Amino acid sequence: MKLLTNALTKFVCGLLLVGVLIFLPAGTLHYCKGWLFIGLLFVPMLIAGFVMFCKSPEFLAKRLDAKEKQATQKGVVAFSGLMFIAGFVVAGLDFRFAWSAMPAWVVTAASVLFLVAYGLYAEVMRENAYLSRTVKVEEGQRVVDTGLYGIVRHPMYAVTILLFLMIPLVLGSWYALIAFAFYPAIILVRLKDEEALLTKELPGYEAYKQKVKYRIIPFVW
């Protein structure tokens, strides 16, 4: 019950926070793309949360723990939070003052890609039982090199980049895209710090780096 209460509390607080950040700047609840985004984000999240609660409560508890201990990662989390706040507020203001003229097909395509990225994110979580929201090495952790991890070393980051860059397009705001465009740079800082830790503390990770050459984008980087 404690885990369920914690999960539902964080879900509701996240839903309310995103709603306030989007609809308050918009000055209205009649922001259809705002509701579209909330549906795309929180309905799959709720379903995934109940699946994890039923099948792997330990994994759910791990996903709810977002307290970073390293200074670099605390900075990454802080900058990510500022990016999200700025992006949502700008999207709301964009709707209020009609700054952007985004074609409907762009919003539709972005919505489809958002769901595809969500599906890939779920696959990454299925493949890697050690996946955590914080940068750390667990006792008994081993290198995962199957599935998407056989293509790039950090499929979760690759997927989240696609996921988050689609958010401003789903919201119909070219200007909000400017804020979210900082996310790849934020991930770069997190990734380099994480790889240094994994190379030092996770047995077999150095050999894995030699086997899987690319970090995020196959044949590119």
Return the pLDDT at 34: 97
Asked if residues 161 and 185 have their Cβ atoms less than 8 Å apart, the reply is: no
Tell me: pLDDT of 133 over 60. no
Mean pLDDT, range 9-34, rounded to an integer:
94
Model's pTM, two decimal places?
0.88
**Range in 50-54, 121-125, 179-183 the model is least confident about:** 50-54
CB 83 within 8 A of CB 186: yes
- Provide mean pLDDT across the span 103-108: 96
Spatial neighbors of 205 by CB under 8 A, at least 6 apart, are: 143, 198, 199
* DSSP H or E segment with residue 163: helix 155-170
Residue 213 φ/ψ, nearest 5 degrees: -75, -30
**Which percentage of the chain shows pLDDT scores above 70?**
89
User: What domains does the chain contain, in order, with CATH numbers?
Assistant: 2-211 (1.20.120.1630)
User: What pLDDT, in 10s, does the model give residues 30-85?
Assistant: 999 999 999 999 998 888 888 777 777 777 776 666 666 666 677 778 888 999 99
What are the tens digits of pLDDT across the range 149-165? 889 988 989 999 999 99
d(CA 173, CA 184): 19
In whole angstroms, how far apart are CA 197 and each of 133, 190, 193, 221?
15, 11, 6, 19
Measure the CA–CA gap between 25 and 88, rounded to whole angstroms. Answer: 9
Q: At what angle do helices 71-97 and 155-170 cross, to 10 degrees?
A: 20
Residue 85: CB atoms within 10 A of its CB come to: 13
Predicted confidence at residue 64, as pLDDT, reads 66
Burial-class residue 115 by CB neighbours within 10 Å (0-12, 13-18, 19+): middle
Average pLDDT, the chain: 87
The percentage of the chain sitting over the pLDDT mark of 90, rounded to a whole number, equals 44
CB 26 within 8 A of CB 95: yes
What do you get for the CA distance between the two ends of the chain, in Å?
Answer: 43
**Run of H or E residues at 127:** helix 104-127
pLDDT digits (tens, 9 = 90+) for 183-206: 998 888 888 888 888 888 888 888
Q: Which two tokens stand for residue 48?
A: 């995934």
Q: Which of 92, 87, 74 is nearest to 29 (CA)?
A: 92
CB of 171 within 8 A of CB of 101? no
Q: What's the DSSP call for residue 150?
A: G
Predicted local distance difference test score (pLDDT) of residue 23: 97
Say which residues have a Cβ less than 8 Å from residue 195's Cβ, sequence separation at least 6: 153, 209, 215
